[in-house]
Amino acid sequence: QFNDKKQSSYRNEKIGFVFQSFNLIPELNLYDNVDMPLRYRKFNRDERDKRIMQALEQVGLAGRKDHYPTQLSGGQQQRVA
């Protein structure tokens, strides 16, 4: 059996969620939206930056990292989410 700390750690490291809505935070730009779960996982700044840029490059939106969700099309929001 897992205690609360082990359960939380397991959820953070092994379980992901796929939402029907994009769930981007409108007050945060793309970079910060992608950064949010990495901060929760406690990656250091350099590792987070590397992962964020890699993810944005993979979906073709690295050049829009400073844009906010409302500045993107629905398809672009979906790719970021």
Tens of pLDDT along 6-63?
888 888 778 876 666 678 999 999 999 999 989 888 889 999 999 999 999 999 999 9
Burial class (CB in 10 A: 0-12, 13-18, 19+), 49: middle
pTM: 0.75
> What is the model's pLDDT at position 21?
66
Q: With DSSP H G I counted as helix, E B as strand and the rest as coil, what are the percentages for the chain, rounded to 5?
A: 60, 0, 40
Tokens representing 34 are: 């992608």
